[in-house]
Amino acid sequence: KAGVTQTPRYLIKTRGQQVTLSCSPISGHRSVSWYQQTPGQGLQFLFEYFSETQRNKGNFPGRFSGRQFSNSRSEMNVSTLELGDSALYLCASRDSIWRDRELFFGEGSRLTVL
Amino acid sequence: DAKTTQPPSMDCAEGRAANLPCNHSTISGNEYVYWYRQIHSQGPQYIIHGLKNNETNEMASLIITEDRKSSTLILPHATLRDTAVYYCIASLGSGNTGKLIFGQGTTLQVKP
């Protein structure tokens, strides 16, 4: 079974631009979560989607948004990029919204904002 | 989610058991203890989780104290490939959505 796939793996943007990251969960998994990882703040939860609905949201500004499609694939978008948005963005999937299920993480998309 | 406290770093000799402690003194009765690890530049990897009882799988063992205020992750025979950052997380169980609160974790260095 294929794992969680994130694209692109690396990208460089400039301040003010926007970016869209994609995540394909493990087949059969309907929940997708997004995390941001930076050296200073560590791993921080962005949001979780289940059945195309946002179920939970972390403490990030409205520039960070996401969506989930009927095939469970998810995208996240960051608008008006700032230097501080440079980070590793991780996607994780699980087969249920029950929290005692483990998360399966992808390898991440590394965003550099210049 | 309850706050967890872990030592920032630990060393372990290859082939020996690695015992990683975690304090979660404010854990509530319905919060699970999860362990994940992250090898450099990769996504976090699930290791094990438990509620009250000790747990064991092919990767590790999880020992939870009777009062549930602390736990220990045991890697029975550490290898160089076990060098990683290990995260202990206390999180609500079934019926709740979402997020895992990752702390700073413990950097485990396995040495030859």
User: In this complex, do A105 and B92 lie within 8 Å of one another by their Cβ atoms?
Assistant: no
Burial class (CB in 10 A: 0-12, 13-18, 19+), A73: middle
The full DSSP string for B33-102 is EEEEEE-TTS--EEEEEESSS-EE-SS-EEEE-TTSSEEEEEETT--GGG-EEEEEEEEE-TT-------
Give one word for A42, left, alpha or beta, with left for phi > 0 and alpha for psi -120 to 50.
Answer: left
Interface check for A60 against chain B (CB to CB < 8 A): the answer is: no
Model pLDDT, residue B98? 53
Rounded to the nearest angstrom, the minimum Cα separation between A17 and chain B is 25
Q: Does an H or E element contain B19, and which?
A: strand B18-23
Cα–Cα distance measured from residue B56 to residue B33, given in angstroms and rounded to the nearest whole number: 13
Cα–Cα distance measured from residue A48 to residue A51, given in angstroms and rounded to the nearest whole number: 10
Model pLDDT, residue B97? 47
Cα–Cα distance measured from residue B108 to residue B82, given in angstroms and rounded to the nearest whole number: 8
Interface check for A100 against chain B (CB to CB < 8 A): the answer is: yes
Model pLDDT, residue B41? 77
B95 vs A98, A103, A106: nearest CB = A98
Counting one residue from chain A and one from chain B, the pairs whose CB atoms sit within 8 A come to: 65
> What are A69-112's pLDDT values in tens digits?
999 999 999 999 999 999 999 999 988 776 567 889 999 999 99
Average pLDDT, chain B: 90
Cα–Cα distance measured from residue B100 to residue A105, given in angstroms and rounded to the nearest whole number: 12
User: In this complex, do A99 and B103 lie within 8 Å of one another by their Cβ atoms?
Assistant: no
- Is the predicted pLDDT of residue B96 greater than 60, yes or no? no
A48 vs B34, B93, B98: nearest CB = B98
Judge whether B89 and B31 are in contact, CB under 8 Å: no
Judge whether A23 and B83 are in contact, CB under 8 Å: no
| Average pLDDT for B61-67 | 96
> What are A49-79's pLDDT values in tens digits?
999 999 888 899 999 999 999 999 999 999 9
- Is the predicted pLDDT of residue A13 greater than 60, yes or no? yes
HEC string of A69-97 equals CCCCCEEEEECCCCHHHCEEEEEEEECCC
SS3 B1: coil
User: In this complex, do B45 and A105 lie within 8 Å of one another by their Cβ atoms?
Assistant: yes
- Which of A35-49, B25-39, B73-87 has the highest average model confidence (pLDDT)? B73-87
- Tell me which DSSP letter residue A101 carries: S
Cα–Cα distance measured from residue A18 to residue A73, given in angstroms and rounded to the nearest whole number: 20
User: In this complex, do B46 and A102 lie within 8 Å of one another by their Cβ atoms?
Assistant: yes
A56 vs B93, B98, B104: nearest CB = B98
Model pLDDT, residue A95? 84
Model pLDDT, residue B103? 84
The full DSSP string for A22-80 is EEEPPTT--EEEEEEEETTTEEEEEEEEETTEEEEE-S--TTEEEEE-TTS-EEEEE-S
Interface check for A113 against chain B (CB to CB < 8 A): the answer is: no
